[in-house]
Structure 1
Amino acid sequence: MAIELGLKRIRKLLSYLGNPHVSSYKSVHIAGTNGKGSTIAYLSLILTHAKISNGRFTSPHLLSYNDCISINNQTYSLHKFEKVRNSVLSHNARYNLGCTEFEILTATAFKIFEIEQVELALIEVGLGGRLDATNVLTPYANGNTPGGVIVCGITKIGIDHEGFLGNTITDIAREKAGIIKTSVPVVVDHTNQRQALDEIARKAAAVNAPLFSTEKSMACEIDNPIQYSPMLGQYQTENLSVALHIVATIQKTLKSNELTRDCIISGIRNTYWPGRLQRLQDKTTGIEFLLDGAHNECASMELGNYLRSIRRKGFIFVVGMSEGKSVEGLLKHIALKDNDVLIPFHFTAPPEMPWVKCHDVENISMTAKDYVEEVLKMKNADNIADLFDFLAARKNNGDVRQVVICGSLYLCSDILRHQIDLHQEPEQIIELEAATKYE
């Protein structure tokens, strides 16, 4: 089933599953165009180091279908995941609900968090906010129900998914602000555009939700906390700030003494988020490369900011993108005409997401000619082993430009799978990925 926003189907499905999101655990709900995953990664590691049981739900998955759900920062077992998902599918079929794939996945995550008895669930919005399946979450009612949202977060907002959310920052911010709940505190990244901040403030005022800006000082007294983060990119300063403001709210709500300064710093030090400014080395050829999703213009701008800080003799860009994404919107922020070359590449579309299609490599090539010195075409533009052999051959012939692979998280997934022995269990795959260090 294609993307179909709305809450009617998932409300019915969750009611048949016992409404685990209301009856079991408290939740943190995060929306935004970029930075949601990193913010939740910081939160998960901080809570785990504080020994506060937590579940994490992010999307899309990276390496295997179950890796979008974690318990205490460990990917949920594929066997257990399939068992719960099959139960959810059975309810969906029995009552003829017609839920979308994402609604099934969301309900599966909510049920898993109940089964595993987490204290806090960290929930990332899938698309938009107001009509996203995760927005079935309800406010925490101060003891009237065990579960509910205790704090919302809104990260950086940019133009993306215009067909669903609108064509302006105001329109998109209105959809993102749809997660703000009555009397529930909301934290917002203060570096957002004024139109977005105004829309968020209006919604918060309308539902009497306390609004906290990351511009204000935090309750946890840590000087320059970004110094402890291993993740690259100036934008991580804002993501971490959102996370730490949320931690302050969690402390007050849970009345927790476990969230100490040392636990917070340890959590930050150990945070990782694959496919975002990630430095890796191909296991066969030894080619070093930077991997970044850069799947919308806002993310492309951040990638461009980072590349300017490390630019030497230019870059070899390997670019694969989803159909409908702007090639120009990526390249105008990252490439220099006289210094860079580009290899158009094809990613593998996830079989469970039939609406995802790869941008035609010829179209990427045609647009790229205006932004790079040369477009390099491979015979097999979907074979990753051939790609690294091609890059190794260029290096051996004296091309010392840095390699940047970007344009899609689905391309990142393909590259990461190639670097990891797929004969291992999915849990081991993610553990290996977690061990990958950022510079």
Structure 2
Amino acid sequence: MEEYIFARRRMGMKFGLDRVRKLMAAAGDPQRSYRTVHIVGTNGKGSTTAYLAGILQEMGYRVGRMTSPHLLHYRERAAVNGEWIPESEVVEFVETFRDSIEQFRATFFEITTVMSAWYFRKAGVEVVSAEAGLGGRLDATRLLDGGITVFTGVEIEHRRILGPTEAAIATEKVAMAKEGSILVAYTQKPEVEEAIASAVAGRNLRRVVPEPSPFAPLPGGYQPLNAGLAVAAAGLLSGRPAEEVLEVFRNSGRSFRWAGRIDLREGEPPVLFDVAHSPGSMAGLIEYLGRERALPVPAVVGFLEDKFWREMTLQMKGVFEPVVATTPLNERSLPAEILVKEFRRHGIEALCQDDIGKAMDTARGMTRDLLVVTGSFFVTGEAMLHAWRCGWIRLPERGEEPHQLFRSGRDVDTPEMTDL
């Protein structure tokens, strides 16, 4: 059934809420059965979403987690208390609502959003931590009934869809917040602050400015900011004081893991996987490496063509070398042969290997110290699976398998690897 859902990608992205509203109604408007916290922004949405889900789960809530895109498997996009939606539930949803999907011409993301909402109700979820897609004002996840919106910040992305400036993008993102609801956001640069202030005044929002968290389970200089957003949102939703929420977060963080985010895996050689795919997130990865490692280090890199890949290749000078350029498994991929020329233009030693698995094998022979994989979800996830299947990275924690790379909060049972 996942093949059927993936086939809807051929329809492309169609913005507007009419189709998803009709499909949600056909499913019985399941989003009205629980509370939702929306997470919007450019960078840090995934980790903030996961932090919040982990905190709420540790508090005793039954928590739905909605994320995108997926790293290893489609079913990770919808999880309840850390467990991915079962294949049987995907099959049931498609079989039950196929006629409505066809009638309303629902897109891939719209189907996934409604299926997640439907499954969360069926699973008895009390609260959902939901990562938005591009949006936003016209994002399918806006149909979820959210009283709290978390804004992680913006940088230029998807200009054709969201606008040419950070202020325009912020306006689209913050439009997720409904009339009279709560907006959690740090103080931003002046032009973004102006967009936020306009939204707060125009929709009678309550603005909450959090404090960075003194504790963050994930490495990276920006993670205390993401953690602070999650702690603030959890406190607002639960009514608990910040000190108590932070203590809960410390407890949940002891078993926290979020695959592909400055994710160091021991092996021969060790591999650092990071999904950085914008100049801002790449700067975070580079800052971490500069603090922790002698540079440069070898890397496998691939980008989507609609990202700021030229800027990111320039950022990599003096950080990654040699580089094996590869091609993401996505229809919007930047061909490796174009990327390798850009690296060489900046004087960076680079090889071209279109196939991600072969790129990993090539890069493995370049180092015994550390290999970095970055540039895209679609490179990082495939590279991680290749290294695991070939047995040259170890997943040491309790016989850990790829399904268990996304634990948050209390330990949970997970499906078998054969489900992949």
- Tell me the TM-score normalised to structure 1 length: 0.82
Q: Tell me what 2:214 maps to.
A: 225
Are 2:210 and 2:228, in contact at CA under 8 Å, matched by a contact in 1?
yes
Q: Tell me what 1:296 maps to.
A: 278
Q: Distance in 1 between matches of 2:130 and 2:344?
A: 41
The one-character-per-residue Cα deviations of 1:261-310 (angstroms, maximum 9, x if unpaired) are 5433212333222111111245xxx1212111111122122122222213
Q: Tell me what 1:387 maps to.
A: 359
Q: Tell me what 2:165 maps to.
A: 168
Matched residue type, 1:387: A
User: Does 1:114 find its partner at 2:121?
Assistant: yes
Q: Distance in 2 between matches of 1:271 and 1:432?
A: 10
Are 1:313 and 1:401, in contact at CA under 8 Å, matched by a contact in 2?
no
Q: Tell me what 1:352 maps to.
A: none
Q: Tell me what 2:298 maps to.
A: 316
Are 2:151 and 2:183, in contact at CA under 8 Å, matched by a contact in 1?
yes
Q: Secondary structure at the match of 2:315?
A: helix
Q: Kindly report which structure 2 residues correspond to 1:34-433, keeping only aligned pairs within 5 A, or say none.
A: 34-93=43-102, 96-137=103-144, 148-190=145-187, 192-215=188-211, 225-226=214-215, 229-252=216-239, 262-282=247-267, 286-336=268-318, 340-349=321-330, 356-378=331-353, 381-384=354-357, 386-395=358-367, 402-421=370-389, 429-433=401-405
Are 2:231 and 2:246, in contact at CA under 8 Å, matched by a contact in 1?
no
The one-character-per-residue Cα deviations of 1:230-260 (angstroms, maximum 9, x if unpaired) are 31101101100110110110122xx799x75
Instruction: For residue 336 of structure 1, report the CA deviation from its aligned partner.
Output: 1.5
Matched residue type, 2:363: L
Are 1:293 and 1:407, in contact at CA under 8 Å, matched by a contact in 2?
yes
Are 1:287 and 1:391, in contact at CA under 8 Å, matched by a contact in 2?
no
Out of 313-322 and 24-33, give the one that drifted further. 313-322
Report the number of matched residues.
Answer: 388
RMSD between superposed Cα atoms in Å: 2.4
Q: Tell me what 2:6 maps to.
A: none
Are 2:360 and 2:383, in contact at CA under 8 Å, matched by a contact in 1?
no
Instruction: For residue 430 of structure 1, report the CA deviation from its aligned partner.
Output: 4.3
Q: Distance in 1 between matches of 2:95 and 2:315?
A: 44
Matched residue type, 1:158: E
Are 1:300 and 1:329, in contact at CA under 8 Å, matched by a contact in 2?
no
Instruction: For residue 371 of structure 1, report the CA deviation from its aligned partner.
Output: 3.0
The one-character-per-residue Cα deviations of 1:201-235 (angstroms, maximum 9, x if unpaired) are 210121111001125x8xxxxxx532xx3311011
Distance 1:310 1:82, change over 3 A: same
Instruction: For residue 376 of structure 1, report the CA deviation from its aligned partner.
Output: 2.3
Matched residue type, 1:280: R
Matched residue type, 1:382: D
Q: Which runs of 5+ in 1 are unaligned?
A: 138-147, 218-223, 350-355, 423-427
The one-character-per-residue Cα deviations of 1:374-412 (angstroms, maximum 9, x if unpaired) are 11234xx3051x3344234333xxxx6642211101101
Matched residue type, 1:345: T
The one-character-per-residue Cα deviations of 1:170-196 (angstroms, maximum 9, x if unpaired) are 110111011111111110133x32212
Matched residue type, 1:16: A
The one-character-per-residue Cα deviations of 1:99-152 (angstroms, maximum 9, x if unpaired) are 111101101011111111111011111112111111123xxxxxxxxxx32211
Q: Distance in 1 between matches of 2:314 and 2:186?
A: 25
Distance 1:313 1:32, change over 3 A: closer
